[in-house]
Structure 1
């Protein structure tokens, strides 16, 4: 981090994508803004190790522990960002991955804009690509997959709140990357098979990717639901479905 005597101040809020977990995978700009911050509001996911490097005067707030009373949690986070920025502080909102990939980043940008608070968005490395790569899985590969699709699995395919067209996804020949889907993967696999995806399609689950605790578990669509239970796979984990799962050398797995 930048030495204290080199600190400059960036007014307002910086929405920083911290990357998939390894503290070395945050961008140079994101790391610089962290070093300049007065206040850091951090998510559970992302490079938490970087917070230990901050100077003692920096106020670090765990977003999950912001009291929200009559407010929704996200609304309370928005209000905290606005409150600290209005006090003239340099605020960093540290998120895992990229702020705009299932990170609710735009909700915060809109709230800040409405309050007249300047906001800088710093893209981050998304776990959807980097975590498979760290486990030796390319999301595209010549002659194997010319496309990849990233989808949220936080609601089941049969949930009326789902916005995902699972039948169409089952017909794609490329790679399917599922985020936030560990507890729903059995149902997701059943749905994909029901709509024509071969049951023997390879699946890899990469738990806590890019960190020292990274773990890869392989299965197929037919077995992945049971494999998650027997192998006790826990979030956060990125799920990769498709032929690319098997193209890498075992030494990278």
Structure 2
């Protein structure tokens, strides 16, 4: 029966016989594994030529003594007779051999591989070779690894603790990145915010510890210094800690402070970027933050910090779209500042609540009316505020201003109302 072995080929000599496309594919994998590769073939294809900086090529027919000292032989000459002869030489020397011409006549088989973090999964057929079937099984396993397999370490070597800051995206679970899902699958502890793809926490194994440090407007139940302490302390216990944050960790997420806290404590830390709410939430509502002929730049601000001169210049000159995060509770103050600074009262504004989720809602109006409209309809956080010509309704409708590729000017209440 065929068995599957995890063989470390790092810095070990491997012989590849043949120079065609099959050999090229094997060479790429062997190179990535760190093997010391010798290719023996009278001629090689362009794909092999592209790899010659990493391998040694003998431009001739293979000889039996070429196998001396090799750990693995891979034969892919395109000739079943030549492949069988090399496989026979390998068997006589007790060297593992993959026979690309006839897998049943080699002593090893190349598995269909998929990887997730430190876990490598290989699929081989124990009967007649069937590459299509093994690839289909591999792909099914890869999907499982991406979306919910438990990949936690059961044996933790000393000092194995680490922290992974994961950007969870704007809210929809399927906008969490593949790398972010993999980090969650490896987590012993998840330190989670209120925002982001919180339903994904229901997919974790029951014994994964979830620590809720979510903040609500005006109420920080767990202050940042305490969050930093939790991350460091949990990692120092040898655990893999995922800090699950909404959006991207480095976009008003205080991820930089958490990275610094870990590094100052000597704790390994990694950052997994996330889909930023500043871009994804408007996009989910059909609002492009840039649009040819309308605006070619955007400016992102934290609403609680107010509107600085750069943001006001953007609004007065209509030189870019202004995207405001965490601004719902201070919307009236932001509008007052903008109007006092001379921003056109008719500037279009759109507020997107709970973007990318089933509860998404868009509220639009002119700058001088948006605060009253938001209060009337009960706009609440989390929401992203978009200010500028791109927020006007109908921009992306056929025949609209955006369709014509010209700048859309602010219009009347009829244009900007619901």
TM-score (norm 1): 0.89
Distance apart, 1:52 and its partner CA: 0.2
In structure 1, which of residues 67, 83, 93 is the aligned counterpart of residue 233 of structure 2? 83
CA contact (8 A) 1:170 1:193 kept: no
Distance apart, 1:54 and its partner CA: 0.2
Distance apart, 1:7 and its partner CA: 4.5
In structure 2, which of residues 252, 266, 269 is the aligned counterpart of residue 119 of structure 1? 269
Aligned to 1:249: 397
CA contact (8 A) 2:349 2:385 kept: yes
Distance apart, 1:195 and its partner CA: 2.0
> 1:32-51 residue pairs with structure 2 within 5 A?
32-51=182-201
Distance apart, 1:33 and its partner CA: 0.5
In structure 1, which of residues 58, 63, 71 is the aligned counterpart of residue 208 of structure 2? 58
CA deviation vs aligned residue, 1:186-238 (integer Å, no higher than 9, x gap): 22122222223211111000001011110000111010111111111001110
In structure 1, which of residues 84, 94, 100 is the aligned counterpart of residue 244 of structure 2? 94
| 1:184 paired to 2:334 | no
Distance apart, 1:139 and its partner CA: 0.3
Aligned to 2:291: 141
Aligned to 2:352: 206
Q: Distance in 2 between matches of 1:116 and 1:153?
A: 34
Q: Distance in 2 between matches of 1:27 and 1:165?
A: 32
Distance apart, 1:165 and its partner CA: 4.3
Aligned to 1:168: 313
Rg comparison, structure with higher value: 2
| 1:130 paired to 2:267 | no
- May I ask how many residue pairs the two structures share in their alignment? 240
Q: 3-state DSSP class of the match of 1:240? A: strand
Higher relative contact order (CA closer than 8 Å, sequence separation 6+): 1
CA contact (8 A) 1:190 1:221 kept: no
Q: 1:164 to 1:122 in 2, by over 3 A?
A: farther
Q: 3-state DSSP class of the match of 2:304? A: coil
Unmatched tracts of structure 1, length 5 or more? 66-70, 158-162
Q: Distance in 1 between matches of 2:214 and 2:198?
A: 13
Unmatched tracts of structure 2, length 5 or more? 1-146, 216-220, 399-417
CA deviation vs aligned residue, 1:56-110 (integer Å, no higher than 9, x gap): 1100110139xxxxx9711111110011100100110000000000100000000
Q: Distance in 2 between matches of 1:140 and 1:156?
A: 23
> 1:12-31 residue pairs with structure 2 within 5 A?
12-31=162-181
Q: 3-state DSSP class of the match of 1:121? A: strand
| 1:222 paired to 2:372 | no
